[in-house]
């Protein structure tokens, strides 16, 4: 028996959908033949993948925006799948996350200065997910000391004589620790 012609391969994500091809063959006696072939390649769900995230920095009292959609990839999004985004564990109350766009936003103040670890996840419609921990540093911005509003007592100095006035520390308040 003559061997049967065989077509074999491994389809990639880029080939999902209908693929049309023209097969050409030659019989042993030299005659040519052609056959149109339509092959439908079905998608298999691919889980999201976490992309490397650089250390993130922001300034206090400045709007913060982190776009999680740039930190995850899912090949099936091109075929209509969608990702939703989630913060895992304890979410800082000063941050909000739009689960459909992946945008984290917030306005850090003095209390948020320091390092934060944010555990985030991207999940596709089938429930497949990828997680990663983002390292976020909120840097201090030097705040101007503010006068408390206390009235100063009357101060008398004499002409031609050196003087020194010590103001009470309670007259000014500085939000920056250690200033």
Q: What is the DSSP string of 35-49?
A: EEEEEEEPP-----E
What whole-number percentage of the chain has pLDDT above 90? 52
Confidence band, pLDDT 50/70/90 cuts, at residue 2: low
Digit-coded pLDDT (tens) for 27-64: 888 889 898 989 898 888 889 999 999 999 999 999 99
- From CA 75, how far away is CA 100, in angstroms rounded? 17
When pLDDT is averaged across residues 120-127 and rounded to a whole number, the result is 96
pLDDT of residue 149: 79
Strands 49-50 vs 114-124: parallel, antiparallel or unpaired: unpaired
Instruction: Give the list of residues 6+ apart from residue 5 with CB closer than 8 angstroms, or none.
Output: 25
Digit-coded pLDDT (tens) for 159-172: 999 988 888 777 87
What whole-number percentage of the chain has pLDDT above 70? 97
49 and 74 in contact (C-beta within 8 Å)? Answer: yes
Q: What are phi and psi of 155, to 5 degrees?
A: -120, 130
Is residue 142 scored above 90 in pLDDT? Answer: no
Q: Tell me 127's DSSP state.
A: S
When pLDDT is averaged across residues 57-83 and rounded to a whole number, the result is 94
Confidence band, pLDDT 50/70/90 cuts, at residue 179: low
Q: What are phi and psi of 78, to 5 degrees?
A: -65, -20
pLDDT of residue 59: 96
**Average pLDDT in the chain:** 89
When pLDDT is averaged across residues 88-107 and rounded to a whole number, the result is 94
CA angle 41, 43, 45 (to 5 degrees): 160
Q: Other C-beta atoms within 10 Å of 29: how many?
A: 5
104 and 97 in contact (C-beta within 8 Å)? Answer: yes
pLDDT of residue 90: 80
Is residue 3 scored above 70 in pLDDT? Answer: no
- From CA 147, how far away is CA 138, in angstroms rounded? 26
- From CA 48, how far away is CA 129, in angstroms rounded? 6
């Amino acid at each position: 028996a003559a061997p049967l012609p065989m077509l074999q391969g491994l389809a990639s994500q880029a080939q999902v959908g209908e693929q049309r091809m023209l097969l050409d063959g030659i019989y042993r006696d030299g005659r040519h033949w052609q056959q149109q072939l339509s092959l439908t390649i079905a998608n298999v769900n691919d889980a999201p993948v976490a992309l490397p995230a650089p250390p993130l920095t922001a300034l206090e009292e400045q709007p913060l925006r982190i776009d999680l959609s740039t930190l995850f990839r899912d090949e099936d999004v091109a075929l209509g799948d969608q990702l939703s985004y989630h913060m895992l564990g304890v979410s800082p109350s000063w941050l909000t996350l739009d689960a459909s766009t992946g945008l984290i936003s917030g306005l850090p103040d003095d209390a948020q200065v320091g390092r934060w670890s944010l555990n985030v996840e991207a999940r596709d419609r089938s429930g497949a997910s990828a997680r990663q921990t983002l390292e976020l540093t909120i840097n201090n911005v030097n705040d101007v000391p503010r006068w408390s509003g206390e009235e100063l007592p009357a101060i008398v100095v004499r002409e031609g004589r050196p003087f020194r006035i010590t103001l009470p520390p309670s007259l000014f308040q500085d939000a920056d620790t250690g200033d």
